[in-house]
Structure formats: C-alpha cells, structure tokens
C-alpha cells in the first residue's frame, strides 16, 4: 500500500521545506501585500475594480485548484517523486507571471481592468501549480503529528520571513527609479529570482517517505471531491480559515493605507515587518511543545482569541501614537503566529482521517480544497478593503478626511477582530478532529496495513 522510509526528518530538511514557502512568499505573497495599492495608485484603476479582481478570480481558482489537485493525485510516482517535480518545473512560470502582474501599461481604464484581471489569473494559476504539490508534500514527509507541527513551524517561519523581506526591500527598490511603473516590476523581478532559488533548495533537500502506491481507478477523483465536500471536519476548518486567515490577509492589504494616511509614514512597513518576524519567534520555539501539551485545536483558538483582543486595544487606544501601535501590533501578531503555525498541520490530519473514513488517500484533492479556501480568504481580504475604501471616500494620493481616517482604522482593526471571534466560536464547537482522535485514526490505519 505505501512506500515507507522511516528515516527521521532532520533540521536541514525542515529548513529546506520552510524555504519553499519563503519562495512562495517572494512571489505570490507580494501580490497580497502590494498589488491592491499598485492597482489604485500606479496602474490607475478604482479601488472597487481592484477588489473585484481579487474576488472574481477565485471563481477561476475553484476550477484550476480542483483540476491540479486531481492531476496530482492521479500522477504515478516518478524518479523525482510525486509532489516535488511540480516545484522544480513550476517555479519559473510563477516568477515570470508575478513580474507581469506588476506591469502598468498605458491603456484606458477598461483595458487596464482586463489586463489586471488576466495577469492576476495567470499568476494565480502558476501559484496553484506550485503550491498544491508543495502543501501536499508535508503529508508525504511524515505521518507523525508532532513532526507535522514542526514542519508547519518552519513553513510559517518561511512565509513570515518573506513578508519581512518584502516589507523592507520592495519600496526602497522601487524608489531607486524615477518612475514606480519601472521600479515595481524590477523590484518584483529581483525578489522572484530569489524565490526561484529557494524553491530549488526545497526540491533538492526534501524527501517523500509516505506515498500511496495503490492504483487509482476511474472515478476516484470524483469520489475524492465528493468525500471532501461532505467531510464535516473539513467544512468547519474551511469556515474557520476564511475568517481567521482572511483577517490576517485583510490587515496585510490595508497596512500601507493605514501607515501612510493614519500614522503618516508609509515606510513603517519595514519596521512592522521586522517586529513581526521577532514576534514570530515564540511560536517557532514553543508551538511544538504547546501542541503536545494542549493540542493544535486549543493552541489555535487561544492564539486567535488574543489576536482579536489586541486588535481591539489598538483600535481604542492607538490613535496616531506610533510607539503604542507598534508594541500592541507585535503582541497581536505573536498570538496570530501560533494560530497560523498550526493551520497547515490540520490538513495532514484531514488526509489521514479521510483515508480512514472513506478509504481514499487524496493529498492533492484535500490540499487543493484547503488551498482554495485560503485563496477565498485572500479574495475576501482583497475585496473588503476595495469596497471599504470606496465607501469611506478614499481618494488616491490625496489628504484624507477625518471620516476616511476613522474608516481606515475600523477596517484595519475592527473587521479582523470580529472575524476572528466568529471563527473561534465555529471552530471550538464544530471541529472534533483533535490530536487524540487523530492518534487513534493513524493507529487503526496501521492495523489495517494502510499506513
């Protein structure tokens, strides 16, 4: 049933796996951080259309994610593995499409919207081709819950490091050029080249130890999709992810507006990115032992609870006090990091659970489903600011009114806090695949000689 290699996962392999998400972040993550503001201030389309592009693109993703996931599951194991070849051969396509998304051609507004929509879809497709196999890879590296948490820690560290680098490097690079229309694609191209290098390191140094050799039969793909869509644990996790991860992405999409117009310093993005990487360190060292003590579910809930509390504190008391904002924001991100760190470990548990429940091990379909949910989170996080900026009367590159400033604060702090609280209630009462239950699942799979 399975090709197994019980070799222990070493630090080099875990770091290399984390570098894979650093590679993702140096390309696709840049879009989440800079693309909406690029659309409104450089390309010259309205905030409404910028938000709509993020939202409508996800309809296209619903198709591509499912197709890529199905293909990954149906693919026979080759000499380079089942998942790793997609990272090797897809990274160049992702880099090129990311750079193209930051071009600003001289067109009328309608044509600009079409161009932005087409290039963002192309980049999203390229990301799907790389990211779904990358995310599925961890379930093939280990079936141990603690080791999966450790891999998730390194993945989160890589993703956060990408945000740090992007926050510190992109705007200074753009400002080296007389025109941001030239500066943005050059800056993005430089970071994308580093992203390709990190992907190659990930490919080279990771190993697939648990790969199903069971022959796929006609109809398995549709059965896997049906199994996923009727899996209560997945559906609860999906709603929780849209709310919790969406809160994080919403803040990323709004932060440049908040820094520039409320705190008066767009350059704070570098300071905040640096503090965020420092705030991540407690989760790097404590997430695995805390998971062993209280479980992934409880750690995620506590993390989101205190994230929401600190967001409200900043909304009520920060005002334009930069120091107060930075301190409280770092505390908020520290707790968010715990929740975000364990989020990917849930997916590996769901893969084992679905195999135990329905007899199908479908890494590609399940991770593509989770990837699509995270993309929905990104879409909501791009759409809500676009609508909010329109509603509160935002005017690009102008002094904002008091009402607009108040609206920016509410969008940046209150909406993420409320979303996190709603997600906590749904997840705490609805998700029952605890670490204890997963241990029983894997034990029974071994007894059935399926793991």
- Note the pLDDT of residue 219: 63
- Note the pLDDT of residue 212: 62
Q: What angle do CA 121, 260, 282 make, to 5 degrees?
A: 75
User: Domain 8-447 class?
Assistant: mainly alpha
- Note the pLDDT of residue 451: 63
Taking the C-alpha atoms of residue 35 and residue 26, their distance in angstroms, rounded to an integer, is 13
- Note the pLDDT of residue 152: 86
Q: What angle do CA 246, 230, 291 make, to 5 degrees?
A: 55
pTM: 0.74
Beta-sheet strands, E only, within 71-183: none
- Note the pLDDT of residue 218: 62
- Token match 């992203």: residue? 195
163 touches 232 (CB < 8 A):
no
Tens of pLDDT, residue by residue over 51-66, are 888 778 877 877 788 7
- Note the pLDDT of residue 3: 45
Helices 322-358 + 232-261 axis angle, to 10 = 160
- Note the pLDDT of residue 5: 46
Q: List, run by run, the mean pLDDT of 10-residue segments along the chain (451 residues).
A: 58 95 89 84 89 80 81 81 94 96 93 95 93 90 84 87 84 92 94 96 92 61 80 94 89 87 87 86 87 93 97 94 95 92 87 87 84 80 81 86 92 94 97 92 83 63
Q: How many CA atoms lie within 13 A of 425 on its CB side?
A: 5
Phi and psi dihedrals of 212, rounded to 5? -70, 130
- Note the pLDDT of residue 28: 82
Return the structure tokens found at 139: 């379930």
Taking the C-alpha atoms of residue 341 and residue 159, their distance in angstroms, rounded to an integer, is 10
- Note the pLDDT of residue 236: 96
């Amino acid at each position: 049933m399975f090709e197994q290699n019980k070799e222990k996962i070493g630090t080099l392999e875990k770091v290399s796996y984390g570098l894979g998400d650093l590679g993702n972040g140096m390309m696709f993550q840049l879009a989440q951080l800079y693309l909406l503001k690029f659309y409104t201030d450089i390309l010259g389309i309205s905030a409404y259309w910028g938000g709509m592009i993020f939202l409508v693109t996800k309809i296209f993703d619903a198709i591509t994610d499912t197709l890529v996931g199905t293909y990954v599951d149906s693919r026979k194991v080759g000499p380079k593995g089942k998942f790793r070849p997609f990272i090797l051969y897809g990274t160049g396509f992702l880099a090129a499409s990311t750079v193209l998304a930051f071009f600003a051609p001289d067109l009328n507004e309608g044509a600009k919207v079409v161009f932005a929509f087409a290039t963002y879809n192309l980049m999203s497709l390229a990301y799907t081709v790389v990211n779904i196999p990358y995310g599925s890879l961890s379930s093939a590296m280990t079936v141990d819950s603690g080791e999966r948490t450790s891999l998730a820690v390194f993945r989160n560290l890589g993703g956060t490091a990408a945000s740090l680098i992007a926050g510190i490097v992109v705007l200074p690079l753009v400002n080296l050029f007389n025109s941001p229309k030239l500066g943005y694609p050059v800056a993005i191209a430089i970071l994308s080249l580093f992203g390709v290098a990190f992907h190659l390191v990930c490919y080279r140094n990771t190993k697939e130890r648990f790969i199903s050799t069971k022959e796929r039969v006609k109809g398995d793909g549709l059965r896997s999709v049906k199994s996923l869509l009727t899996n209560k644990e997945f559906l609860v996790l999906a709603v929780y992810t849209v709310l919790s991860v969406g809160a994080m992405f919403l803040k990323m999409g709004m932060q440049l507006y908040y820094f520039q117009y409320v705190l008066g310093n767009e350059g704070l993005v570098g300071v905040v990115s640096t503090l965020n990487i420092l705030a991540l360190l407690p989760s790097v060292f404590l997430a695995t032992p805390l998971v062993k003590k209280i479980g992934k579910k409880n750690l995620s809930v506590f993390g989101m609870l205190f994230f929401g509390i600190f967001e409200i504190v900043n909304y009520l008391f920060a005002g334009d006090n930069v120091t107060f904002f930075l301190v409280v924001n770092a505390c908020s991100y520290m707790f968010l990091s715990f929740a975000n760190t364990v989020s990917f470990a849930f997916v590996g548990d769901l893969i084992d659970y679905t195999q135990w429940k329905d007899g199908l091990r479908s890494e590609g379909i399940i991770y593509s489903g989770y990837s699509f949910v995270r993309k929905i989170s990104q879409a909501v996080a791009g759409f809500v600011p676009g609508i909010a900026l329109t509603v509160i009367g935002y005017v690009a590159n102008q002094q904002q009114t008091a009402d607009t400033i108040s609206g920016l604060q509410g969008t940046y702090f209150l909406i993420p806090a409320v979303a996190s609280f709603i997600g906590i209630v749904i997840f705490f009462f609805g998700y029952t695949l605890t670490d204890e239950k997963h241990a029983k699942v894997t034990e029974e799979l071994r007894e059935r000689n399926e793991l």
